[in-house]
């Protein structure tokens, strides 16, 4: 017959033994009560790290060893009595307040159950995701909570998958609105941005201007210098435009070598000066081996047109500039 390991209480003081006995009696009483009710915590399932029991008066917690094992501890590393703070002190700073609030609401009788997801620090300093569900199971004659119990799940793997999926979705979302060559907004995204700025302009009765730019004789650049060089020109032009507009302004690639710039709170006259500065910067820029590029542009201010009509006005001004000799801004 296998010998059963017995706990050694020889090093405990009388007071400690009395405290342990009282706590075990309360725990036993609580377990009997739950059995009689045939509704242990009203939960139809058990957490994969087992149950926990919280003596609210003493602040001590009885738990399944699987919980501390998941955190990288052995039972030998734990103090004789594990306090509530042993776990709460390890909560992630971003999760502490929400976790404490959920438990407080249940303690005060303002919620049926305490339920939350939180990160908790493991022994090696990494963060584990746990899901807790529990409730106060016993109150005194005055309604003060005495005992709580619940279940806990290790949901780290599930959360890591969710975070990875969110990251991948964010990348896909970015790709769907970003021009692959230049990294600025693509045609669809810049049009949506313009719709938003038009609404702001109408709401605040503020001026709004746009500019349409086009690289002069770009087909010749591709034909004579090659598409790799042509791509380099496009990226450098975008860099120059981006450096010469404000943080509140937006730029997007509208077509192959066409770019739409949105200038909120800007009159047509002020937009013209911004575009002239950009045109001059590009004209003086060395694109490699002394190669020079010029840019034409067209400016329009908003006057209650539709989005496409608004863009079309700037586009017409652009082609007026091109027909007038290129390397100039139409207004």
63-92 average pLDDT score: 86
Which two three-digit tokens encode residue 77? 């590393």
Q: What percent of the chain has pLDDT over 90?
A: 71
pLDDT at position 39, please?
A: 41
pLDDT tier for residue 182 given thresholds of 50, 70 and 90:
very high
What's the CA gap between 119 and 43, in Å, rounded?
A: 23
DSSP assignment of 19-71: HHHHHHHHHHHHHHHHHHHT-GGG-SS--TT-EEEEETTTTEEEE-HHHHHHT
Position of tokens 């995701």? 129
Q: What CATH number is attached to the domain comprising 75?
A: 3.30.450.20
DSSP assignment of 196-253: HHHHHHHHHT--EEEEEEEETTHHHHHHHH-HHHHHHHHHHHHHHHHHTS-TT-EEEE
Q: How distant, in Å, are the alpha carbons of 209, 283, 299, 315 from that of 269?
A: 9, 21, 9, 17
pLDDT at 215 over 80: yes
Pick the range with the lowest mean pLDDT from 23-32, 39-48, 74-83, 321-330: 39-48
Q: What percent of the chain has pLDDT over 70?
A: 88
Q: 266-313 pLDDT, tens per residue?
A: 999 999 999 999 999 999 999 998 999 999 999 999 999 999 999 999
Comparing 15 with 252, which gets the higher pLDDT? Answer: 252
Q: Which of 93, 117, 115 is nearest to 105 (CA)?
A: 115
168 occurs within a structural domain = no
Sign of CA dihedral 244, 247, 250, 252: positive
Whether 127 and 220 share a structural domain: no
User: End of a domain among 110, 127, 160?
Assistant: 160
pLDDT at position 41, please?
A: 43
What's the CA gap between 290 and 285, in Å, rounded?
A: 9
pLDDT at 250 over 70: yes
Comparing 84 with 244, which gets the higher pLDDT? Answer: 244
Collapsing DSSP to helix, strand or coil, 192 comes out as: helix
pLDDT tier for residue 32 given thresholds of 50, 70 and 90:
low
Whether 140 and 207 share a structural domain: no
192 is catalytic: no
Residue 52 lies in domain: 14-160
Q: 92-132 pLDDT, tens per residue?
A: 999 999 999 999 999 999 999 999 999 999 999 999 999 99
Global model pTM greater than 0.85: no
pLDDT at position 203, please?
A: 95
pLDDT at position 47, please?
A: 60
pLDDT at position 44, please?
A: 42
What's the CA gap between 46 and 161, in Å, rounded?
A: 23
pLDDT at position 65, please?
A: 84
Q: Which of 142, 97, 134 is nearest to 115 (CA)?
A: 134
7 occurs within a structural domain = no
Q: 188-206 pLDDT, tens per residue?
A: 999 999 999 999 999 999 9
Which two three-digit tokens encode residue 173? 């979302």
Whether 132 and 204 share a structural domain: no
Average pLDDT over the chain, rounded to an integer = 89
Whether 90 and 186 share a structural domain: no
pLDDT at position 111, please?
A: 95
Q: What CATH number is attached to the domain comprising 325?
A: 3.30.70.270
- Taking residue 150's Cβ as centre, other Cβ atoms within 10 Å add up to 23
DSSP assignment of 252-299: EE-SSSEEEEEEET--HHHHHHHHHHHHHHHHH---STT----EEEEE
Opening angle at CA 219, ends 217 and 222, nearest 5: 115
- CB 189, CB 252: distance < 8 Å: yes
Whether 141 and 200 share a structural domain: no
Instruction: Write down the catalytic residue from 15, 220, 257, 269.
Output: 257
3 occurs within a structural domain = no
- As for how many domains the chain has, the answer is 2
What's the CA gap between 128 and 134, in Å, rounded?
A: 19
């Amino acid at each position: 017959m296998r010998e059963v390991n017995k706990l050694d209480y020889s090093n405990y003081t009388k007071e400690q033994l009395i405290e342990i006995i009282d706590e075990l009696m309360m725990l036993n009483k609580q377990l009997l009560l739950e059995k009689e009710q045939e509704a242990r915590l009203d939960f139809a399932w058990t957490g994969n790290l087992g149950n926990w029991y919280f003596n609210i008066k003493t602040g001590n917690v009885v738990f399944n060893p699987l919980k501390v094992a998941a955190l990288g501890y052995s039972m030998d590393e734990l103090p004789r009595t594990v306090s509530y703070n042993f776990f709460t002190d390890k909560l992630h700073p971003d999760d502490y307040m929400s976790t404490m609030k959920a438990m407080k609401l249940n303690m005060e009788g303002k919620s049926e159950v305490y339920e939350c997801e939180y990160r908790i620090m493991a022994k090696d300093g990494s963060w584990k995701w746990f899901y807790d569900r529990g409730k106060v199971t016993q109150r005194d004659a005055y309604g003060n909570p005495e005992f709580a119990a619940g279940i806990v799940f290790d949901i780290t793997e599930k959360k890591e998958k969710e975070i990875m999926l969110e990251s991948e979705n964010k990348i896909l979302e970015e790709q769907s609105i970003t021009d692959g060559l230049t990294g600025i907004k693509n045609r669809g995204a810049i049009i949506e941005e313009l719709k938003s700025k038009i609404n702001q302009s109408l709401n605040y009765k503020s001026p709004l201007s746009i500019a349409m730019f086009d690289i002069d004789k770009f087909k010749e650049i591709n034909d004579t210098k090659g598409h790799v060089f042509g791509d380099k020109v496009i990226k450098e032009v975008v860099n120059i435009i981006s450096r010469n507009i404000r943080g509140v302004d937006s730029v997007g690639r509208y077509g192959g070598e066409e770019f739409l710039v949105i200038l909120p709170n800007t009159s047509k006259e002020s937009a013209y000066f911004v575009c002239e500065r950009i045109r001059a910067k590009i004209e003086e820029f060395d694109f490699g081996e002394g190669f020079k590029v010029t840019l034409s542009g067209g400016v329009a201010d908003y006057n209650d047109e539709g989005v496409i009509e608004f863009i079309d006005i700037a586009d017409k001004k652009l082609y007026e500039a091109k027909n007038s000799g290129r390397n100039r801004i139409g207004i």
